[in-house]
Structure 1
Amino acid sequence: MLAAAMQTLTRPDVPPPSGTDPLAALNDAQREAASHLGGPLLVIAGAGSGKTLTLAARVAHLVLNGADPQRLLLLTFSRRAAQELQRRCAALLHQALGLKPTQAAPVLPWAGTFHSVGARLLREQALAIGLSEQFTVLDRGDAEDLMALVRQQRGLAATAKRFPMKGTCLSIYSRCVNSQSAVGPVVQQVFPWCQDWVDELQALFADYEAAKQDQQVLDYDDLLLWWHTMMQEPAIAGPLSERFQHVLVDEYQDTNRLQAGILRALKPGGGGVTVVGDDAQAIYGFRAAEVRNILDFPGQYSPAARIVTLDRNYRSTQPLLDAANAVIALAPERFAKTLWTDRASAEKPRLVTVEDEPTQARWVCEQVLARREQGLTLMRQAVLFRSSHHSAALELELARRRIPFVKYGGLKFLEAAHVKDVLAVLRWAENPRNRLAGLRVALLVPGIGPAHARRPLDTLAAAADPGAAMATWQPPAAATVEWQALATLWLALRRGEPGWPGELQAIADWYAPQLERLHEHAAARQTDIDQLVQLARGQRSRERFLTELALDPPEASSDNAGDPSLDEDYLILSTIHAAKGQEWQAVTLLNVVDGCVPGDLGVGTTAELEEERRLLYVAMTRARQHLDLIVPQRFYVTQQHRHGDRHMYGARSRFLPPELLPLFTHATPRADGSEPTRPTTQVMDLREKLRSRWG
């Protein structure tokens, strides 16, 4: 039945099979966007307007009208978003085709992040563009380590003046790549303290690029850079453009210049292009995201481009939307829209003025507990902030009151030393020229120090047959037994003898005694290794596993897990950036003052200031029912100061000018965090007594 249905779909003269219409549940604007056929389409999707459903319905509509699922390219910004989009598309197609529960809906093989799709295409075209088919992808930590190695080789670690550290060097390099800018302008605009080192940085990046090519590795940014460069070659760009009938991009406001350039190269005329996004939620400029991509989209494809605006909000109450609309309406350049909803409410958002940060922390705790008593669980409440350190006082107060919380951030899974050790073995087996991985593995062997560790790497790099070189290399006498065990494992991995995913289990078995020897709390860390083995079972090959792990790593590791939480409920603490795409019944935003929102480093240019305005808008539109913006009047500064601690006064954020204040209710809690109550006794008038002091 499925085969017959798909044959029918490829014939435009035959109506689609009977079933549920994928557009039936959409509102008018969503239906207009989903049913568009023809030229380039820009969907301006306001916060909470159902953009994922609309995009999924559009995919289903295209397939039902003859589009080949194999020729649909869906580009998202996270694997989770791609999976959710695929799930919704499958559900809509399943219903529309009238399939039985046991029958699978058509799959969308080309749905993924820009980076994951880029990795697949580069792997396909590797021989044609001078890449090794066995290239491996460096994660952020490994890329920093390689940058450090090149930095040291160039003698930049021994300069008389301070030279940028490896992380800063990689950040500058990444910014140059993603913004398609030269080193000089990037340093001047974003890293001004590095302006004395522009020439040295340029030479460092050239050597870094050469080192990656010598070792047959790509870093995260290379996946876009090589894809973009590849698309400048007509012999490759032409077939790829023809291969994909439709290209749909989610969160287009977060694309950088490389990604926008890739889209234009894939579809120069704009036919079959759909981009979905919201310029009012463009908040990733620090990652080189370019809001002009979405603002300029209509002009790039004029006059063929069509714009559809989704302005009905399904998340927030109207008073919350009124305030958020007013904040973003003050932006000088934007796609005009006014979010509306049928969720009426008499409760306005609150603007809360407090004495200082400790009072702010106490008040938040009081409100969180009060709402919990009213039936709103902690997990349905969130406290947001501009920067991670803004929640320090609140975290102390939450701990004192024994209110459990989870804060987004911390050590990433792939940054844990024991995880990096295991993956280094796998990466070295996959790519014998990966010098960084090989050095890390060699140093795991007892009896081999830094000097000896480089020798087998030099041998393998010079050998036509790395396997033979590995089998015959002689280690120091003290390391003979341990090295032989590693060499045996490495050769077996090269031959694929354990089979996938058994290869990772073989590495875990070899690494177990090293884990005991090198790390404390080995049992807790072993759970991370076990998790790696489990993750491996979800990928079809070693190469795919390493690539996907570098592109979308797990978040947590035992290095920072601490004691497991025994609480069934916990409060959410999050930066605004990490909260994008999320929603809660109640949202509290800390430190809505100049210097925090906007941040003191975010007001250098008009573009930076406008991104800070959009950041406040994103925070406000995370709330469904309750929204509190807190304005501390005093901040204590405990940095070194000859007169001891000092304080600074805070002014309400410039994004909340006086004309917006009627959209809020106002509260001024007491120093203990509780709401003030009206006095019950007669108020004493002391004015006459004070005047009488002077005669």
Structure 2
Amino acid sequence: MTTVAYLEKLNTEQRRAVEYGLVDGSSTSAGGPLLIIAGAGSGKTNTLAHRVAHLIFLGADPQRMLLMTFSRRAAAEMTRRVERICAEALGGKGGGDVLAWAGTFHAIGARLLREYAGAIGLDPAFTIHDREDSADLMNLIRHELGFSKTESRFPTKGTCLAIYSRAVNAEIPLEQVLLGAFPWCARWHAELRQLFAAYVEAKQAQNVLDYDDLLLYWAQMMQDEALAEEIGGRFDHILVDEYQDTNRLQASILLALKPKGQGLTVVGDDAQSIYSFRAANVRNILEFPKSFTPPAEIVTLNRNYRSTEPILTAANAVISLAAERYAKNLWTERRSSERPQLVTVRDESDQARFIAERVL
């Protein structure tokens, strides 16, 4: 199996994205920053997997590659695809345990924090609280401070944790978070500030980090120039999936890892930015190219493999209304005479029921 043979499965734009920055067919030059704008159903995962596999095929050290996704399932699927492509390209060799550094932002952060704990004054034996554990600790402190017995109802433990999490991930003041996303809680500004201070103290006393801390501590660690240079220098290539769903903390970590953008590839679609409740900021992907000098290369994947032409016509019309966006026009070879239907339902349950009934 030659290099050309497995790349021939890709369309022109996909192949351009896969081969970008590889000078004279070599991976020794990491290349400048690359932004892949991948429209819905355009083979984004396949393209990213082929880029990783192609780099390995050309000699890039997989131990010096960092691949970050937004779920463990996505990371596992990406790894499987890369291993399958590598095995195919290398004639059955190199198919196992290719990527040593593949996972979610939080998982990679936890791994690096344990490794560099001594350098930042952190006990490497820290415990990681999941959301439920964090909410329970928040509730305990909420009760100890007497906020659970107020005359008018104080925000629940889940709401308190959501407010705290947004403030941390969006890197904005508490008052701004309350006014922008939780206006019904604004009256509790002073009490919430007291609660969050006590929550942080409790975590430190118990040697506990929550999910937000995994990003916060990592970002703070990257403010040390020597550490940032050392950690960034461990990776020749960094690839990030679903970049439209990153928050400010994650973007700052990425730019600190590769301030000049060498070997940096991010994939995403500004039209699919849907995780605002996680403090995701669509400006990260909109402003990515001009974060570097010269600006990042942009490759757009327009061909859709999932939907029919009438559906894409409707989707393109909706997307075109965005005030600020990357220009793209999804197209497909799948024809259909059936036009999309506009259906009004009462709520999410009705929506699910309607779809299930139509499928059946």
Choose which of 26, 29, 52 in structure 1 pairs with 2:10.
26
* Larger relative contact order (Cα-Cα within 8 Å, sequence gap ≥ 6): 2
Question: Using the alignment, how far apart are the partners of 1:194 and 1:298 within structure 2?
Answer: 37
SS of the counterpart of 2:342?
Answer: strand
Show the counterpart of 2:28: none
Within 5 Å, give how 1:494-573 maps onto structure 2.
572=356
Q: What is residue 279 of structure 1 aligned with on the other side?
A: 270
Note the aligned Cα RMSD (angstroms): 2.1
Which residue pairs with 1:391 in the alignment?
A: 349
SS at match of 2:256: helix
Preserved CA contact (<8 Å) 2:246 2:280 = yes
Q: What residue in structure 2 maps to residue 671 of structure 1?
A: none
Distance in 1, matches of 2:39 and 2:109, equals: 28
Q: Which residue among 15, 28, 40 is the counterpart of 2:33?
A: 40
> How many aligned positions are there?
351
Query: For 1:20 and 1:312, how far apart are their aligned partners in 2?
Result: 21
Corresponding residue of 1:76:
69
CA distance in 2, matches of 1:394, 1:148: 33
SS in 1 for 2:134: helix
- Write the letter of the residue equivalent to 2:51: R
Partners of 1:146 and 1:259 lie apart in 2 by 25
* Contact residue 84 and residue 95 of structure 2 kept, 8 A: no
Distance 1:68 1:311 in 2: 31
Change in Cα spacing, 1:19 to 1:256, as seen in structure 2 (3 Å) is closer
Q: Which amino acid aligns with 1:338?
A: N
Shift of 1:220: 1.2
In 2, the alpha carbon distance for the partners of 1:41 and 1:109 equals 22
Q: CA separation in 2, counterparts of 1:254 and 1:161?
A: 36
Q: Given the alignment, which residue of 238, 243, 247 partners 1:256?
A: 247
Report the alpha carbon displacement of residue 161 of structure 1 after superposing the two structures with TM. Answer: 3.4
Out of 308, 318, 327, which is 1:336 matched to?
327
Equivalent position of 1:88 in the other structure: 81
Amino acid corresponding to residue 236 of structure 1 in structure 2: L
User: Which residue is 1:171 aligned to?
Assistant: 162
Q: Distance in 2 between matches of 1:19 and 1:248?
A: 21
| Aligned equivalent of 2:261, options 266, 270, 293 | 270
1:150 aligned partner: 141
Instruction: Give 1:330 shift.
Output: 1.2
**In the aligned structure 2, how far is the partner of 1:277 from the partner of 1:49?**
11
CA contact (8 A) 2:86 2:95 kept: no
Secondary structure of the 2:7 match is coil
- Aligned pairs for 1:653-692 (under 5 A) are none
8 A contact 1:20–1:95 mirrored in 2: no
Take 1:587 and 1:202, find their aligned partners in 2: how far apart are those partners? 49
- For residue 240 of structure 1, what is the aligned residue in structure 2? 231
8 A contact 2:244–2:284 mirrored in 1: yes
Structure number with greater Rg is: 1
In the TM superposition, what whole-angstrom CA distance separates every residue of 1:584-610 from its partner, at most 9, and x where no partner exists? xx789xxxxxxxxxxxxxxxxxxxxxx
Q: Specify which of 189, 198, 203 is matched with residue 189 of structure 2.
A: 198
Q: Which runs of 5+ in 2 are unaligned?
A: 22-30
Alpha-carbon deviation of 1:94? 0.8
- Among 55, 61, 67, the alignment partner of 2:60 is 67
Contact (CA 8 Å) 1:20, 1:98: kept in 2 or not?
no
Q: Within 5 Å, give how 1:276-425 maps onto structure 2.
A: 276-352=267-343, 389-391=347-349
2:27 corresponds in structure 1 to: none
Q: 2:164, 2:196 within 8 Å by CA — same for their partners in 1?
A: yes
| Shift in alpha-carbon separation, 1:235–1:352, aligned structure 2, 3 A | closer
How far apart are the structure 2 equivalents of 1:185 and 1:126? 32
Counterpart CA distance in 2 for 1:144 and 1:352 is: 38
How many angstroms apart in 2 are the aligned matches of 1:22 and 1:393?
41
Q: Secondary structure at the match of 2:233?
A: helix
- Deviation, 1:48, is 0.4
**CA positional deviation for 1:21:** 3.9
SS in 2 for 1:338: coil
Give 1:390 deviation, angstroms. Answer: 3.3
SS at match of 2:143: helix
Q: CA deviation at 1:204?
A: 1.2
Matched residue type, 1:77: F
2: CA distance between counterparts of 1:258 and 1:161? 34
TM-score (norm 1): 0.49
Q: Distance in 1 between matches of 2:306 and 2:352?
A: 27
Change (3 A) 1:291 1:394: closer
**What code does the residue aligned with 1:148 have?**
N
Residue 393 of structure 1 and its aligned partner are, at CA, apart by 9.1
Q: Is the 8 A contact 1:19 1:97 kept in 2?
A: no
Deviations 1:240-298 (A, max 9, x none): 01001111000000000000010001001111110000000001112210000000111
Residue of structure 2 in register with 1:107 after alignment: 98
Using the TM superposition, give the Cα deviation of residue 167 of structure 1 relative to its aligned residue in structure 2, in angstroms.
1.2
C-alpha distance in 2 between matches for 1:224 and 1:245: 22
Partners of 2:147 and 2:154 within 8 A in 1: yes
CA contact (8 A) 1:18 1:98 kept: no
Whole-Å separation in 2 of the counterparts to 1:587 and 1:242: 51
Identity between Structure 1 and Structure 2 (%):
60
Alpha-carbon shift at residue 18 of structure 1 (Å) = 4.8
Alpha-carbon distance change, 132 to 54 in structure 1, aligned in 2, over 3 angstroms: same
Question: What is the aligned partner in structure 2 of residue 366 from structure 1?
Answer: none
Residue 110 of structure 2 corresponds to residue 119 of structure 1 = yes
CA contact 2:203–2:209 (8 Å) conserved in 1: yes
Whole-angstrom distance in 1 between the partners of 2:356 and 2:292: 42
